[in-house]
Amino acid sequence: MTPALVLLALVPMPAPPAADTPTPRGHTTAEPAQIAVWVNAGTATLVDVRETDEWEDGHLRAATLVPLSELGAKTNDPAWVADLKRRVPTDRPVYTHCKSGGRCVMAAEPLRELGYDVRPMKEGYVDLLAAGYERDEN
């Protein structure tokens, strides 16, 4: 290995920016490839807000399921909120995705009210697969 490669291997992975200027529709401007780097480095979290049946039909390996319908119905349930905070940490940005980019914007406000730094992705599930995100085969 050349010294330059060793040096690059020692450089820590960058964290997502502290703030993200959303598009007029409320989506993040970060590219899916960069988000994948942050998620893989543990400096960001990926949340799928599609419904359980959609998740069971196929989902991304790196994602955690938080259906939009539960966000609307259970955010006042302390046990549900405690479970959510165990599954989805509040100490890093949360990038949400859905099928086509609409529900992830709707999920942002209830998640923000629970203390999350939410950044909806305009790319949907199929777009993220095409961008190289891994499908969970389980």
Summarised one tens digit per residue, pLDDT across range 100-134 is: 999 999 999 999 999 999 999 999 999 999 999 99
Q: How far is CA 54 from the centre of its chain?
A: 16
Instruction: Return the SS3 of 48.
Output: strand
CA–CA gap between residue 56 and residue 28 (Å, rounded): 26
| Tokens coding 19 | 């703030």
What pLDDT is attached to residue 35? 94
Q: Quick count: other Cβ atoms within 10 Å of Cβ 76?
A: 7
Average predicted confidence (pLDDT) for the chain: 88
| Tokens coding 47 | 């949340």
What pLDDT is attached to residue 25? 74
What pLDDT is attached to residue 19? 63
**Per-residue pLDDT tens digits for 32-71:** 999 999 999 999 999 999 999 999 999 999 999 999 999 9
**Per-residue pLDDT tens digits for 5-26:** 444 444 555 677 666 666 667 8
Q: Regarding predicted confidence, which is higher, 3 or 25?
A: 25
31, 75, 81, 108, 110 from 113: Cα distances, Å:
25, 9, 11, 9, 5
Q: For residue 116, which of 96, 82, 91 has the smallest C-alpha distance?
A: 91
Query: pTM to 2 decimals?
Result: 0.85
Q: Which CATH superfamily is domain 25-130 in?
A: Rhodanese-like domain (3.40.250.10)
